[in-house]
Structure 1
Amino acid sequence: MFVPKALYSKLRRNKIVKKYWHVINIGIQNNLTYRVNFLFRILFGFIPLLATIYLWRAIYSGKSSGASVADYSLAGMTSYYLLVTIVDALTAVSEDDWQIASDIKDGNISQFLLKPIDYMVYRLCLFFSSRIIYLAVAIIPLAIFIFSFRRYFVLPQDPATLGLFLLSVIMTALLQFFMSYAMAMLAFWVLEVSTFIFILFAFEYIASGHLFPLNILPPTLERVLHFTPFPYQMFFPISIYMGKTTGNAVVQGLVIQAAWVFVAYLMARFAWNRGLRKYAAVGG
């Protein structure tokens, strides 16, 4: 039976969508098993957050009323760390890199090489499914925590700012995933990738703005960091939300962020393709 090319392409696309949607469903069911772990993770995550907030309150208490640090008032600084928690809940890679490295080391990726499934897309679906469950579990305690500090929490200037913030957060999630995926590909060449993962995590934690706002650094050092992908993993989306980055700077930043996502994607694909040659050679 002859099937028109356009209809065949549509049917194939629908089949692919159903296939990866099924992966997301499986990922959601698997992550529901660990919902209690997610709950404790978010609850214990509030402890260092509280310590940081009260540390900054002590710093501001020693200053005159209305004083600011790098253009951050006490309310602005508190909002910054609350937003760090929100963005981290939406975008953080939790054990995905370890699981990918384990699949490679244990030979579990062989099953994916024999099936019509893209391993990167498969892992990306599992990543988003874990974020969905984590957010579903964390949203109530996170909302209670933010409500407790509501007088310090700054709302976005307008709906457009919120939309740009959400767009940047999506690209942040993709950037974090592709960088972690590329790092996990080292498992094709080395037996233990934990050292490399910890080094990357340390750079991300400091240079992304997770530990402190990057614009409290000396201007030269801040400019140097913006030549790396790290500020676009945390600081940039928060700066959009808080109105620190506006106008053409937002458009320019989003273009640069998208470029880093594309570069990280290419690096992940390149590492996978080169790694498969090594993997096939070892398997033979």
Structure 2
Amino acid sequence: MSVIPAIAAPTETVGPNTTKRRRESGRASKLLSRVGLPLLSLVVFIALWQLVVSLKIWNETLIPPPSAVWDSFIETNTTTDGVRGYAGKYLWEHLLISLQRIGYGIAIGIIVGIAFGLLMGTFGKIRALFEPWITFLRTLPPLAYFSLLIIWLGINEEPKITLLAIAAFPPVAVATTSAVLAAPQSLIEAAKALGASKFEVIKDVVIPSALPETFTGIRLAVGVAYSSLVAAELVNGLPGIGGMVRDASNYNNTPVVLVGIIAIGTSGLIIDGLLQLIERKTVPWRGRV
């Protein structure tokens, strides 16, 4: 019997150049998934939008063509016949004023929510006392109590900021409470065995463990506050992007309504991306422990 010697398959030599090429290929793939696919979906959406308009299924007052929305975007950012933008303010000015309201409201809601979450997660009696009230508040739509806030606080900035703060408070409080309750008991017991005080256990063990879920609650709070923006600017909302949307809807100015909606959604995406970046920098241990 003849024995045919086996021929070993050539192996690829992994050198610095190969590693560099693989790294660059991975970066290109990530860039494609993060930027290319969203842009592709946007192009497809606009194409389908234009197709629906071309088929004349609905009146253009209900669904205007993309070109009309673009024209309204230009008009709200320029001066036409002596009028600046919409109702005397450019689009970015309306958006900036609304973002200031959201910023104040969310800041109050987040601070109070984290404080309540830490207390309710640490002390069972405080949780039993306040948790039903927070759940009750979380289930209320903003319009249910906005009229009451106007009666109490007037029609200026106070009811708007208060409504946004109330909307942002429950998600942060609930997320922080759950995160504190889920803190690893083994780490807590180890810290106590090493002589850590109650305060040191909360500061060095509980809070770092709760931060990832707290950031999730903050992101949810921002989304809830954004969804409450138009409601917050129902009364005396101009200037403001939500007030602009409401005012344009009164005159069936659908292109301006869509411009405002797109501005709110785009700014929300940017803020959520910034929050995720802050989370990655602040809580690098998320998912690793």
**TM-score normalised by L of structure 1:** 0.32
Bigger radius of gyration, 1 or 2? 2
Whose RCO is larger (CA < 8 A, sep 6+)? 1
